[in-house]
Structures are given as structure tokens and as C-alpha cells.
Amino acid sequence: MRKRIKSALISVFYKDGLDVIVKSLNNYGVKIYSTGGTKDFIDNLGFPVESIENITGYPSILDGRVKTLHPIVFGGILAIRDKQDHQEQLLKYEIPEIDLVIVDLYPFEETVKSTKDESEIIEKIDIGGISLIRAAAKNYNDVFIISHRGQYHELAGILEENKCETDLETRRKFAMEAFAVCSHYDSTIFNWFDKYNNSFLKISSHKPQILRYGENPHQEAVFFGEFYEMFEQLNGKEISYNNILDIDAAVNLISDFKETSLGIIKHNNACGFSSRENLTEAWKDALAADPVSAFGGIIVCNKIVDNQTAEEINKIFIEIIIAPDYTPEALEILKQKKNRIILLQKSIELPNKTLRSSLNGFLLQDRDTKVETQEEFKFVTNLKPAKEQIEDLIFANKLVKHTKSNAIVLAKNKQLLASGTGQTSRVDALKQAIEKAKSFGFDLNGAVMASDAFFPFSDSIELASKEGINAVIQPGGSIRDQDSIDFCNKNNIAMVFTGFRHFKH
């Protein structure tokens, strides 16, 4: 099933690297057909090329919207070479066979990122190109398809090594890639049209990043996405599956904080977090919340990492550091650990949807971007929280939103004291948080408590009161809310309702 390439149709948007291919085709006597700018490019290289217009008898029309859409072109691609009646029709209608098609697509995705001009975006929806790709891929038994510029280098090697011949296995492989290109392209166009309706789920990513392994070493894993559009990796080993999950948790958490803040993430939860006047103090107070769990954790912050902060961080083993920038000196300090992953987070908005697999399908939802403000609080107790308490309540509420449910967060002076995470009951989450805070020497008198969902009973409020916690923030909504309110009123505890639950499963 080896086929010699005797003719080629070349019509591409991206021409870098094309000169090597054209030279090789010419050396093997391949007849080249082309269109528009690609023909001009080949002409300028000094190689013979025939315009598609010469074989169709039609010029490019409608501002280039119609160039290759013609039976002569598609007949030459789709004809089955060993089928007699197909060969007779080619002869009858004077249709030349086309053995190689090199076509890429108008840059629709790139255009969407660069402009909001709908007319410009629409013009980047390729019609002729994608039709040529599909036709050539369908007839891979006889035709070789190159569907994107990333294949140019490989094609050049194939032409030279095999003296302009291709085998069936290679043609089939490139046909498969061509259909992946078409699928991704159509999904991108659909999602642009459907961005406000969410009527269907179309997901496509054609750049899988191979990860070291999955959640555990015996599991293989890849990441489909544009990781390095969001980050520049300045140091360290390859990213793993679990790294990506922790990085995702870290950047979502820090995105809710504007003042100088630093968090330490372990297993998708914050084990330390604080907001301070400077980053070094933020690091020290975040670390104090749980210096044990911080070992091997992930640091995320929203300010430039300076020399002093880097020196402090470098005293313990930290696997990943994420920051908007680093001073040159700080970077050199942090690079002393050669495997430490150092990421510079770029200014890119997070997606507004989250997706996860479940059963034999997917769950798609809006990302939880809600951040409650004081103006939205419902003050439900006789005692209103003081200004400093309100600041701590807002701080704690942001943290509990990013903590696995059932979740309780205890905080004071914009410092995470402890959290109870992933418990099957809310009171157990509180008990876990209290025990942890005490184990690291924190005084809970004057601390605040945040809950990601309502308290079904007043038992959690009663337990918190015994520890000196005197302000509570929760969504409200339980049929027994009044029991908790009554207890707060009797024991001089301030409580506010937000009206928003923040489950995180």
C-alpha cells in the first residue's frame, strides 16, 4: 500500500517551514497546485506551481470565500485510485489526481482571543480548508493529508527518507490527526456561538501534556489544556497530576484576595493563610498555622516575592511556589532547591465554568466567584460585630469557600488559625479545627468562625462559645436557625448570615 506522491495541493495560512517541503517536492518532480498567497509564496521561491484557477476555470470569488470548492478539486482528492469507474470519470471530466494535500485552517481561535469584532471573527471561519482536509482524510487509502503547520517538519522527513512515498499506516495516522483538527476547530466555533446559552457541551483540546503519573504512581495521566498560557515555569521538575490539582486550588483561593496575602496549600486545602502589610510577615503567620503540614506544600501569593521572603521560605521544603513575579535575588535563592517548581502566574482570567467527569458523563457548572461583602450581610443577632471582626469574618468566609466540605474555618487578625475539612458532620469539622488550633498554641478567645453551610443545630455554636469564639459567619437557611440565633443572643456572640452556601466536594 505504498503510494508515490505525484501531485500536491498546497493552500496554507502559515507558511513558515513550507519552503523546505516545496523544495523537496520539486526535487522529486511533484506537480504542485496552489492558491492565492500560497502560490505567490511558491513563485517567489522560484519553483513551478500551477494555480487552482487554471484547472477549475473559476477565479477566487466573494472576497476569497470560494477558491477551492469545485468538483475538479474534490474529485481529484476523493477518487478511489483502484476503482475503474472513478478512473473513467476522472478521464471524462479531465480531473487531475491529487495525492498530497497540505492545508491549514484560518486562525479562528487566535482571532477570538485578539478581537471582539464579530465580522472579523466570522471571516476566520474556514470553509474550503476544512472541506479539503476532510476529503483528503477520508481518502487516506490514496491521499496523504497535512492539516496543520506542526506537521511540516515531520512531512519533510518523510519525503526525504521515503523518496516521496508514503505507506498506509502513516497516511491513516495523519488522517486521524486531521479529523482531530477538524473536531477541535468546529468545537471552538460552536463554543464561541454558544458562549451565553450553554445548550451543549463541546470540549476539545489537542495539546495533551504528559504528566509524571496520576494521583498514584501506578496511574498514567495527561493534562489537556494550556498550562503554560497561565504560568511560566522558572525552575523545577515536571508538573504532576496532583501538582495541577493543588495549583488549581491555590490560584482560585488567592484570586479572592486583593491585599498582600500568602497561602500554603496541602491536598487542595489551605493549611496556612494570612493577609499582612508585607509578604514576609504574611509567610510567617501563614506558616504558624500549621508548620507540620506546610512541609512539601504549595505556596501561593499575590505580590512579588522579595529577597527576605525567599530567605524565610527557603528554610523548609516547599514543593511549588506561585507568584506574580520574583526579584532576581529571590529567584536565585529559591532555585537553590533544583527540583522546586517555581511558577510565575500570568495575568489571565480563570475560566467561568468548571467541569469534572462523573459516572459515564460530565458535570458542568459556573465557577463559584461569589465573594460576600459587608453590605450584603444580614445581622441576625442583637450584638453586631465590630469593624475588626467584620474584616476577620470576610477573611474567614473567603477561606471556607475554598475548603473541602463540610468545612469550618477559625481565624483572627486575618490569620488562619485552623480549619476542619472534609468532615461528615459540621460539629466534627469544628472539633477538628479547635483541636488543631490548640495543638499549635493558638488562643481562640476573640476568634471568628466561618461555616460553608448552615448549622443544622446550635451544638456547633455552643462548642465555639466555650472556646471564646465570639463572632460567626454562615449562610443561614436552616429550619433551626433561630436556635443558633437565640444562643448567640444569650451569650454575647455576633452572627451574620450571607445567604450564600459554598459547598466544595
- Residue numbers annotated as active site: 138, 267
The amino acid that residue 137 corresponds to is: A
Phi, psi of 327 (to 5 degrees): -70, 155
CA 298 to CA 296: how far, in whole Å? Answer: 7
Query: What cell numbers appear for 371 in the block?
Result: 465573594
Determine which helix (DSSP H) or strand (DSSP E) holds 102, and give its type and residue range: strand 100-103
**Residue 275, SS3 per DSSP:** strand
**Contact yes or no for 376/393 (Cβ under 8 A):** no
Q: Dihedral of CA 497/500/502/503: which sign?
A: positive
CB neighbours of residue 357 within 10 Å: 8
The reply to whether omega before 406 is within 30° of 0 (cis) is: yes
Phi, psi of 59 (to 5 degrees): -80, 170
- For the residues of 369-393, what is the DSSP string, one character each? -----GGG-EE-SSSPPPHHHHHHH
**Contact yes or no for 378/497 (Cβ under 8 A):** yes
Determine which helix (DSSP H) or strand (DSSP E) holds 431, and give its type and residue range: helix 426-439
Cα-based angle 41, 45, 49 (whole degrees, multiple of 5): 70
- For the residues of 149-200, what is the DSSP string, one character each? GGGHHHHHHHHHHTTTEE-HHHHHHHHHHHHHHHHHHHHHHHHHHTTTT--S
